Chains A and B, each alone.
Chain A
Amino acid sequence: MDLTDLAAGLAIGLGAIGPGIGIGIAVSKAMEAIGRNPEAEGPIRTDMIIGVAFAEAVAIYALLIALVIEFV
């Protein structure tokens, strides 16, 4: 079996765990905040999207590592 494929799969698979948990926490807290104060939905949504983007960037790095292992 070719270990490169396994390495690429593990890179993105393990790398997606952290961002997944992080995005989940961020969104759940934002939903809670909107539930408490529905008038502040706009600013909360904007801040949430920015925070989610930062967490998501980590998953994208893992994806790029996987791509580099697979294709380069």
Chain B
Amino acid sequence: MPEISVAPETLFSIGPLDVTNSLLGTWLAMALLIVLVLVVRSRLSLVPGRLQALLEWPIEGMLNLVTGIDRKRGLQYFPLVMSMFLFILTMNWMGLLPGFGTIGLLQDHEGHQVLVPFLRAGTADLSTTIALSLVSFVVFIGFGVFVHGPLGYLKTFANPPALAPLEILQNLFRAVSLSLRLFGNIFAGEAIQLVFLSFLGPAAFVVPAVFIFLELLFGLVQAGIFALLTMTYILLATLEHGPSHGPSDEESVADQPDGVPSPAAS
């Protein structure tokens, strides 16, 4: 039975860089995305083919969501949010492919043999998700500084001044919860798969199939949540009247279709 380990296993080292199986998974996801994008770009056409339509569908959906609130600002962070979504989705779904976590070498570890897989989903490693959430953290702080100026952004924390430590703590915790949420979901999914695969008899075929479907859903939802929360944090940091008002009241005004009088706007 494959061992469940929280930390990814190191396969080999290039100089000071330890190449782990989750790093290989991340590189595979990057390679797949780059090749896909280059292929689609090389035959970009006004009447989309199948592949182009497949990629345009999520991009259009996300673009509508992002620009629905504030078109000018939305276009500034849309590329980041969209590539985060595609990257995380690719990593999540790649981890469900046959071969990930199942093909590897048997190694002796504390007296019993342990399977060290060659590949592991990138997001099933806390290092990857922490890196992604740090990118999100730096970007939303950066947007706040860019919009309010360094002093003005600090002032939004002191609103009222007594709650400033709480606001700062809340902002720091966003990075923590972003990374832990993604890692926890994907890692728990893989652990559940391993437990069910160790069942004997026909249950080993039927039960994991149900959970693979659930994992497909969770992989999509988690990628979407990561991108959506990054967007929400940027929106909160760029609000004109401080972060104590949520984005919800802004959104409800912006989402009203033209011509319909909105009670919130009047």
Contact = CB atoms under 8 A, between A and B. Distances in A.
B180 A43 contact: no
Best-buried of A53, A54, A63 by chain B (most CB within 10 Å): A53
A72 B4 CA distance: 12
A40 B248 CA distance: 13
B169 to A, nearest CB: 15
Contacts, number: 41
Interface string B177-190: 10011001101100
Contact of A71 (B5, B181, B185): B5
B188 A63 contact: yes
A57 B175 CA distance: 12
For chain A, what secondary structure do more than half of its interface residues adopt (helix, strand, loop), or is it mixed?
helix
Interface residues of A, number: 17
Given A63-B184, A64-B184, A57 B177 contact: yes
A11 to B, nearest CB: 13
A43 B177 contact: no
Contacts of B225: 49-50, 53
B228 A49 contact: yes
Contacts of B203: none
A11 B1 CA distance: 25
Contacts of B131: none
Interface string A8-43: 000000000000000000000000000000001001
Nearest to B255: A43
Nearest to A68: B6
Contacts of A64: 180, 184
A43 B68 CA distance: 10
Contacts of A47: 248
Contacts of B232: 50
Contacts of A49: 221, 224-225, 228
Closest 9 CB pairs of A and B: A60-B184, A53-B225, A57-B177, A57-B181, A63-B184, A60-B181, A43-B255, A71-B6, A60-B180
Interface of A: 40, 43, 46-47, 49-50, 53-54, 56-57, 60-61, 63-64, 67, 71-72
